[in-house]
Chains A and B, each alone.
Chain A
Amino acid sequence: MQGAILSGEDLSKIFSTLVLIVVAVGASAVLWIGVNLLFNQVRTSWTRFNALAGYAVGFLLLLLLQGNRLLKPHGPDADSITRLGELLWTPLLGALVFSALAVILANNDDRAQRLWIASGSGLLLGGFIGIRLAEDARPELEVLPLLLSTVAIAGISAGIALLRRRAPAPAALIGGALGWLIGGFGVPELGSGSAVESAIAAVVPGLAIGARIGLGKNADMVGRARIDAKSRGAIFLVPALFFVTVSLIAPTLITIWLSLKDEDSVDLVWFENYGSVFTDINSFDVGDWTNIFTSLLFVLGVLVGLGGLAIGLVLRKRTGDGFSAGGPAFAPLMIAMVMIVFGVLSVLRGTIMNNLWWVFTVTVFSTGLGLAIAVLADRAKLESVAKSIIFMPMAISLVGASIIWRLVYVARDTSKSQTGLMNAVWVELGRWSTGSGIPTVLGTVLVWVLVALGVASISRSLTSRTYDKIPLRALATIVLLWIAYRFTFDGIGGFRTNSAGETVPDTIFFVQDQPFNNVWLMVILIWIQTGFAMVIMSAAIKAVPTELIEAAKVDGATESQVFWRVTLPQIRTTIGVVVTTLIVLVMKVYDIVKVVTNGNFGSQVLANDMFEEAFLFSNTGVGAALAVILFASVLPVMVLNIRRMQREA
């Protein structure tokens, strides 16, 4: 930690690491090239290929067994030279035996003989290895699990083979061998069995694998060509599969396993952890669901939605097209959806509901704003500058952005001047609307001018007969009217009347006031992700063939018609990709909540909860259960996304 000068120890460590890297890279490369060379022999000299492959398999198998001390050593007193010799000659011997067997099989086309040779030697080799197994590796066989796992895995293998329209018997043999091995060595404690038991445990798989090899007929030229072709895929795939298994599949399975165990990962508690997640009032609190119907947002949302529905129904009767995207009913219905979801999710509380709220809000607003900006900026002046500015937040880390926004949201004691941007504006607005100076007069004039503009835009729509624009403009004008009324008569903004009847400033606690503090946190992610959505969507819009747009314009389509009817259908798949990507990203939201509220004030989300349970409270079980819930809820979207990408490719 201290001092930048490298000591001799450090240097030697660096050197040994470098040597290690060179050796590791070299060995991996040699291994990989060697396997390729080996399979080059398949077409040209089948016998040599079999000899080499048998040699390699035998060598590796026995090296694994001997190297892990699973085979009986010379005894505890043997010196290291003897042991080193043992480590060399056992694999060599095995390699020669396997090699010889492979050569015999490669040159024998008689099916009966092949079966006898292969299964016989499988039996012998299995028995030999079983008897030679070290004492601490001998299993004490338990009949039921052994048979169960053998039958189950053999059955599954045969079933899969049948589904793939292959012969079930060979697959069943391999599956049976695997099942027997797992049932024999996987279930009971090792080290307590006898030599006979370990022989039984090893003989059966040996026999089964031998029989499987014997059942297959010696590959003819066509078969060899197929082996050659298929092996290339496998050779390229295996390293990747290995790393995916080690770094992804194994941790996933282990996490699922841990989620079924108690907090110390000792006893199996099955689904108790999941149960505790859903019974914990902090993660799932829907007790107040009746309050939904009294929530202002919900009621207003339903009203707006009904209005939109009515417009749509009337239009469908008249023109046959009531609910198309961009039509008059579209905007009210969208706004109603957002309001209703906000109304519902501000009443149903808890970590899980918060995550749903995050996913809905950030996805809808990032996609919507991104699309809007991409469309509006398209072919506009200074397009690249505008887009760069919108895109810039993407370059800020989530933690950095959270700190910035926390400062924006900061409230200070009302006797002090506000330093947070939002509260400064809010409190100043309160001063204007309740004061009597020039700003108040100007403000009053301004809000009423805005209302007048709104009314003017509606009347223009009426005179120019563009009725489809009226609903949105009317909604906006109503909101403006309400603001203007409040500004003029009650006042609007950060103020309140204290007990003495004086008007004093009042701040909003953006981060502390439940439940809408969640929305203010979401704004941070929307701010960041809109740039992402915009860039992707902008590229898609630019990829729409200009012929289509020109053709539509020649046919008399307006700009908005071109967008809704031509551009939008063309970029639909891109929107899908953006939406699914955002859902997956938002589901995992962690940094923002961690930095701004740390899950306090009802803003907890799954990822932060998982971290706290697993790493602060050492409840590994509950933490793992939360991780699995998170994983399971992201999975369908991931699958959808990947399938869509595959379809497009």
Chain B
Amino acid sequence: MKSRLLKLLALLFAFTLIAAACGDDDDDTTTGNDTTDDMDDGDMDDMDDMDDDGHDDDMDDDGHDHDDDMDDMDDMDDMATSLTVTGPERDESEAGAIQEVLGAWGDEHGIEVTYLGSADWEAEINVQVEGGNPPDISIFPQPGKLADFARDGHVVPLNDEAAAATAANWSEAWTVFGNVDGVQYGVPVKADLKSLVWYQPARFAANGYEVPETYDEFAALVDQIAADGNRPLCVGIESGQATGWPFTDWVEDMVLRQHGPDVYDQWVAHDIPFNDERIVSTMQTVLDLWTEDNVFASSGSIAATAFQDNGQPLVDGDCFMHRQASFFSAFMPEGTSFGDGEGEVNVFYFPDINGDRPVLGAGTLAAAFNDNDATMALLAYLSTPDYAEARQISQATRKGGGATLSGFLSAAQGQDPSVYQPLEQSFLDVLATAAIVRFDGSDLMPADVGAGTFWTEGTSAVNGDITAQEAADRIEASWPQ
């Protein structure tokens, strides 16, 4: 009897512990957020404290009140003392560099800044926002998502200082991605250059191939390499939750080339339907290029090959070219050096068709969930070249230093180019000289499409389960009304 009673009590104890732990959670990440609330209804809260002391059966309420008391003491002025930043970058080198740079800024200003990177950022940010418990700042890889949040009133516009800093540090080609209905919400913090083809110059020279200047030359080169009994391209689109995105990048790059930036913008904004014949024909162009003879897929099929696994075969010589973004340097095998020498890897610009040199870019944007002074000050800092340089240095060191590429790139104006390696400087040149920059379209489309059907139906089309027309029809049907 006695031991049963004890067990029962222990169970009760454990349960209460869990309940209490759950109940206490929410002031960790939203210090900045709470401030304004507390200022507004501080009196009311005090009243609640009094009230709750009167009855002793409602323990959860008491727990919250303790927290509120602490917040009141912490946040006597309008400056939060701790900020939480979340984002999708969670590699040790990336997350570590962000934490180091933000932490250093925080130390200077007496603010504790914590960066939390998560592979499941997309799902988590939804849950946090819907649960009323968002971070202070989040780094968005998709402007479409940022726009959704901005229109729903979840993220707040930049204040004047932060907006001015952003406008001063980034060209309009980039700030426009953080602009929703004429109001600046996002600060660009990272830029990726997607219209690149990775190759080994020495192997090109050994086989007598030349870097193509036009898309026709590129297509001819592909045919020639295949005719020589080699595989011209490495393609793999497997990427866990995001399987299919390299296909969408190809399609976007090709839409930009075949039909120009105007059609691209209409397509992304859904002014023309997704299954417009021009888009379908572009999807077909990509699929036609990816034949068995043209593509080396290290896992047998394109849909099964992880996008990260394309670096090794390129270095090994299983394929000659790999169209992938600037950040792919991070996925090259360890010890790969970049340049034109034997065994070294370099990039060329994915050639255009109409001579207008369009560039497909991508990147991340930081946006705030509250307008606390500290939050806005941090956003203003994120837009500066100082941040870009500090992060580049920290990330390159974490990757191994020396000639290794960091995988980070920023288009902030006024950066000291010497912090970048020569190859990275050439990326910056492409970014600087590009007349037409377009953001990765799937990141601009609604999540249902851009992070949903465009990936999944595209994967089905690549896998040969459905045709390009069927895929486009299904994607169009899934576009939210």
Contact = CB atoms under 8 A, between A and B. Distances in A.
A617 B17 contact: no
A2 B114 contact: yes
A612 B116 CA distance: 22
A118 B275 CA distance: 73
B299 A616 contact: no
Nearest to A414: B300
Interface in A613-647: 615-619
B304 interface: yes
B465 interface: yes
Contacts of A83: 47, 50-51
Contacts of A84: 50-51, 53-54
A602 B54 contact: no
Contacts, number: 129
A21 B51 contact: no
B447 A618 contact: yes
Interface in A274-316: 281-282
User: How big is the A interface, by class?
Assistant: 35 or more
B473 to A, nearest CB: 9
B334 interface: no
Contacts of A24: 16, 20, 59
Contacts of A20: 20, 59, 62-63, 66
B126 A616 contact: yes
Contacts of B266: none
B105 to A, nearest CB: 16
A598 to B, nearest CB: 6
Nearest to A69: B51
A254 interface: no
B51 A67 contact: yes
Interface string B6-40: 00010011001100110010000000000000000
A97 interface: no
B375 to A, nearest CB: 19
Given A23-B59, A600-B459, A413 B114 contact: no
A63 interface: yes
Interface in B422-481: 447-448, 451-452, 456, 459-460, 463, 465, 474, 480
A60 B95 CA distance: 52
A612 B297 CA distance: 28
Given A21-B13, A25-B13, A615-B123, A1 B304 contact: no
A573 interface: no
A269 to B, nearest CB: 12
Contacts of B55: 63, 67
Interface string B199-210: 000000000000
Contacts of B480: 263
B465 A617 contact: no
A58 to B, nearest CB: 14
Nearest to B62: A20
A411 interface: yes
A28 B54 contact: no
Nearest to B14: A21
Interface in B75-107: 99
A334 interface: no
A583 interface: no
Contacts of A599: 456
A465 B3 CA distance: 64
B303 interface: yes
A416 B298 contact: yes
Given A83-B51, A600-B243, A601-B460, A413 B299 contact: yes
User: How big is the B interface, by class?
Assistant: 35 or more
A19 B70 CA distance: 16
Nearest to A509: B301
B57 interface: yes
Contacts of A416: 298
A415 B299 contact: no
B50 A21 contact: no
Contacts of B24: 13, 17
A512 B244 CA distance: 13
Contacts of A13: 24
Contacts of B413: none
Contacts of B300: 411-414, 507, 509
Contacts of B301: 411, 509, 512
B127 interface: yes
Query: Which of A16, A23, A511 has the most chain B CB atoms closer than 10 A to its own CB?
Result: A16
B318 interface: yes
Contacts of B51: 67, 83-84, 87
A558 interface: no
A511 B298 contact: no
A617 B452 contact: yes
B246 to A, nearest CB: 14
B373 interface: no
Query: Which of A27, A29, A410, A598 has the most chain B CB atoms closer than 10 A to its own CB?
Result: A598
A436 interface: no
Contacts of B62: 20, 23
B299 A412 contact: yes
A512 B13 CA distance: 49
B297 to A, nearest CB: 6
Contacts of A80: 46-47, 50
Contacts of B122: 616
A514 interface: yes
A481 interface: no
Contacts of B54: 63, 67, 84, 87-88
A414 to B, nearest CB: 7
Contacts of A618: 126, 148, 447
A410 B299 contact: yes
A31 interface: yes
A17 B463 contact: no
Interface string A55-76: 0000000010001000000000
Contacts of A414: 300
Query: Which of B24, B304, B460 has the most chain A CB atoms closer than 10 A to its own CB?
Result: B304
B241 interface: yes
B296 interface: yes
A21 B126 contact: no
A451 B448 CA distance: 55
Contact of B116 (A1, A25, A281): A1
B298 A413 contact: yes
Nearest to A21: B16
Nearest to A604: B456
Nearest to A63: B55
Given A21-B17, A80-B47, A615 B57 contact: no
Interface in B248-285: none
B283 to A, nearest CB: 17
A382 B287 CA distance: 56
Contacts of B296: 413
Contacts of A31: 57
A416 B316 CA distance: 12
B356 to A, nearest CB: 34
Contacts of A411: 299-301, 304
Given A1-B116, A80-B47, A509-B301, 10 more contacts: A21-B17, A282-B474, A411-B300, A412-B300, A413-B296, A416-B298, A598-B243, A601-B460, A615-B126, A616-B123
Interface of A: 1-2, 9, 13, 16-17, 20-21, 23-25, 27-29, 31, 63, 67, 80, 83-84, 87-88, 263-264, 281-282, 410-416, 507, 509, 511-512, 514, 598-602, 611-612, 615-619
For the complex of A and B, list the 8 residue pairs with the smallest distance between their C-beta atoms, beginning with the closest: A411-B300, A24-B59, A615-B123, A617-B448, A87-B54, A80-B50, A21-B16, A507-B300
10 contacts: A27-B59, A28-B12, A67-B54, A84-B50, A411-B301, A413-B300, A512-B301, A512-B303, A512-B463, A602-B460
Interface of B: 9, 12-13, 16-17, 20-21, 24, 46-47, 50-51, 53-57, 59, 62-63, 66, 70, 99, 114, 116, 122-123, 126-127, 148, 152, 240-241, 243-244, 296-301, 303-304, 313, 318, 447-448, 451-452, 456, 459-460, 463, 465, 474, 480
